[in-house]
Amino acid sequence: MTTAETAVEAIQREMTIFARRARASAGRMHPELSLVSYTLLGHVEESGGCRAADLAAHYALDKSTVSRQVTALERAGLIERRVDPEDHRVQVLHLTEAGAEILAQVTLSRRAAFRERLANWPEEDLTRFARYLERYNAGPATAADPD
Amino acid sequence: MTTAETAVEAIQREMTIFARRARASAGRMHPELSLVSYTLLGHVEESGGCRAADLAAHYALDKSTVSRQVTALERAGLIERRVDPEDHRVQVLHLTEAGAEILAQVTLSRRAAFRERLANWPEEDLTRFARYLERYNAGPATAADPD
DNA sequence: CGTTCTAGTTGTATAGTACAACTTGAACTG
DNA sequence: CAGTTCAAGTTGTACTATACAACTAGAACG
């Protein structure tokens, strides 16, 4: 086996480990927010207001799933739905103040966890690792994400 | 923000993206095998026969969850339970021939997917990326995996 | 013995998901 | 412009993975 093949296997193995851990912790990421609702909330913030259908498309989720997540986030007071005056079928989603706060808080606590985990890494390794991950994720969707 | 902080944020962001994709595809990784059952099956193979309690401990799953997964894998004919003659409470799990075949096949198809995704990477980047992932996963369990 | 520990199963509940059927509103078309 | 088709969301239903708690069966210990 070539060096490159060995490396690919190691990448596969480590990505699988990470994916498994991710899966295990996704539901209890934060008392307030699961991994899914965190990412949805984050997208609503970044986009500055988007539709449920945008979330479904972006995250490859069924519209019914998004509908229920949105319902839950609204019940929790983290987002609000504003009916588009141009098209009454559309609800534009916005963070509430509470939603923005929680999102910021969760982002900070996640960041602190990552910082801690990466605390002893030399800067050069951090930047290279970040570049590799970006490159990996930017790749075409294949069975390796992480199928 | 320092360069290192920027890199940590990028790592967090990319790991979150990966975790979300992992979660989305974990259930439909392969017609035969979900991500969880794949890893369980892999562990049974590596260990050369282990108990359900070992799997639960290793993957931080409840014993009831493992019990049901094992039941499903047995129903599918991929593993068999052998009652330990020394201790009748214990069932030692072994791959069946079919289980070993399916596991090998899934491993190959996953490897092919990773290979394809990483096809254009220079060997040096592959080995460095692999080292970074290993180092990341080897770190102490924290909220960043990927909590 | 009988108490306590261990391995695993089963009952029950919850979260997240998909698919299908439906509702409502918009847009297009003869 | 009426009728059809398209689009955005919701709701009904079902399934999977999960956890926790209660239980069963067997082992160990004293």
pLDDT in tens, A85-115: 999 999 999 999 999 999 999 999 989 989 9
Q: What is the pLDDT of residue B147?
A: 37
A26 neighbourhood in chain B, CB within 8 Å: 19, 23
Quick: pLDDT tens for B46-92.
Answer: 999 999 999 999 999 999 999 999 999 999 999 999 999 999 999 99
Q: What is the pLDDT of residue A144?
A: 46
3-class SS shares of chain B: helix, strand, coil, % to 5: 65, 10, 25
Task: Please check whether strand D approaches the CB of B88 to within 7 Å.
Answer: yes
In the predicted structure, residue B43 carries a pLDDT above the cut 80: yes
Domain with residues B3-138, CATH architecture: Orthogonal Bundle (1.10)
Whether B83 and B91 have beta carbons less than 8 Å apart is answered as yes
In the predicted structure, residue B29 carries a pLDDT above the cut 80: no
B112 neighbourhood in chain A, CB within 8 Å: 143
The percent of residues above 70 in pLDDT, for chain B, comes to: 94
Q: What is the pLDDT of residue B144?
A: 46
- Which of residues A71 and A34 earns the better pLDDT score? A71
The Cα angle at residue B21 between residues B136 and B3, in degrees rounded to 5: 45
Whether B81 and B73 have beta carbons less than 8 Å apart is answered as no
**CA-based nearest residue to A124, from B11, B129, B3, B130:** B3
Question: Is A12–B114 a contact, with Cβ atoms under 8 angstroms apart?
Answer: yes
Interface test with A, best of B17, B55, B117 (most A CBs within 10 A): B117
In the predicted structure, residue B145 carries a pLDDT above the cut 50: no
Q: How confident is the model at residue B32 (pLDDT cuts 50, 70, 90)?
A: confident
Domain residue extents for chain A: 3-138
